[in-house]
Amino acid sequence: MDISEMFRLVRGTGHILDVLDVLHRERLALRIHDGAFSAMDLTARHPRTGELLSTVKFMVQTLAAAGELQRDLQRELTYDGLRAAEAKGSKGGRRPAVAAAKTDDVRTAYLEGRSIAALARDHGVSRGAIRTAVADLLPDHTANEDDAPAPVLPVTLDMPGKIAGFLRTTELEPAQQAALDQGVAVRRGQGYILRVTAVPAVHRQLLARCQPLDGGHGVPAVPAQRKARREYEHRVSTLTP
């Protein structure tokens, strides 16, 4: 069994020992690519009793407890950041779709020559929502849209491992989660980077999710995480709209 990081498989100190017992009982090997557990032999057991070696058990429990604490702190920072954004009027979440009762009106207006951008402004939704509503009409009419945006191509950016680790504990939108899951981990010294390929808008959304790493609301920032967030911010800032 191959996993990118231990906490993609387990969720606590007790759970990790249970998982190791199941793997041993079923004679399954476990390979972890990133994180502190990647350098450990989790199969080391006493030759007579078959129990997990005490030194391995201690290290597993210690690292799992530290990881659980970090995940809880990151979750608290995320909630604080979301509350701060809500206080400033940011609602977050997905952009609204075209209401079912308005779909026929949108399609009729589109066939009469109304542009996608204008329809999006009229109904207070994104251009993507309008395209979804008129999807089957697009092949015959795309050429007549003077203000339709050019296709947006994916861009590959190197995301610091500390950012990737934080985002894995955060609730993401499907497009953001897919970009993160499809990223390619590359070793860099004691850590790693995650090579993420996504359209610029998704990179910016992932960056926004990392805002809690700068601290605030009585919660001190972790210098290494704040530095990683600013490094990623610099890379995202080079993207064209």
Burial classification of residue 143, based on how many CB atoms lie within 10 Å of its CB (0-12 exposed, 13-18 middle, 19 or more buried)? exposed
- Hunting for tokens 């800032």 — which residue is that? 237
Measured between alpha carbons, how far is 176 from 235 in angstroms, rounded to an integer?
17
Q: Name the token pair of 51.
A: 């129990």
Burial classification of residue 169, based on how many CB atoms lie within 10 Å of its CB (0-12 exposed, 13-18 middle, 19 or more buried)? middle
Measured between alpha carbons, how far is 204 from 195 in angstroms, rounded to an integer?
15
- The pLDDT of residue 206 is 92
Measured between alpha carbons, how far is 127 from 69 in angstroms, rounded to an integer?
41
**CA proximity to 60, closest of 100, 120, 20, 119:** 20
Query: Low-confidence residues of the chain, pLDDT below 50?
Result: 141-146
Tell me if residue 80 falls in helix, strand or coil.
helix
- The pLDDT of residue 115 is 85
- The pLDDT of residue 145 is 47
Q: What share of the chain is helix, strand, coil (3-state, %, to 5)?
A: 55, 10, 35
What type of residue sits at position 4?
A: S
Measured between alpha carbons, how far is 138 from 177 in angstroms, rounded to an integer?
28
Tell me if residue 184 falls in helix, strand or coil.
strand
What type of residue sits at position 155?
A: V
- pTM confidence score: 0.40
For the segment 105-159, what is each residue's pLDDT rounded down to a tens digit? Answer: 888 888 888 888 888 888 888 888 888 888 877 755 444 444 555 566 788 999 9
- The pLDDT of residue 110 is 83
Q: How far apart are the first and last CA of the chain?
A: 40
